Amino acid sequence: GSATDPQSVHARARREKIAERLRKLQHLIPNGGKVDIVTMLDEAVHYVQFLKRQVTLLKSDEYWMYA
């Protein structure tokens, strides 16, 4: 049957890997588990952008002048 077809097995393994990665991402993103996948991915993008801005701020000399 098609369940043992190598292409089907590969596709199933790929879907399982994607689902596993999405579950991990849900735990990293604030409120990630409370929304649909599209919203969670959008939140992940915004959260990573926020973190990048934080790194830039912490690297700046201006931040440390006022610390």
19-54 pLDDT, tens digit per residue, is 999 999 988 887 777 888 899 999 889 999 999 999
Question: At 67, is the pLDDT very low, low, confident or very high (cuts 50, 70, 90)?
Answer: low
How far is residue 15 from each of residues 9, 20, 32, 41, measured CA to CA in Å?
A: 10, 9, 19, 17
Which H or E run includes 54?
A: helix 37-59
Please count the other Cβ atoms lying within 10 Å of the Cβ belonging to residue 29: 18
Q: What is the pLDDT of residue 17?
A: 97
pLDDT mean across residues, the chain: 87
Which H or E run includes 43?
A: helix 37-59
Pair of tokens at residue 12: 């199933």
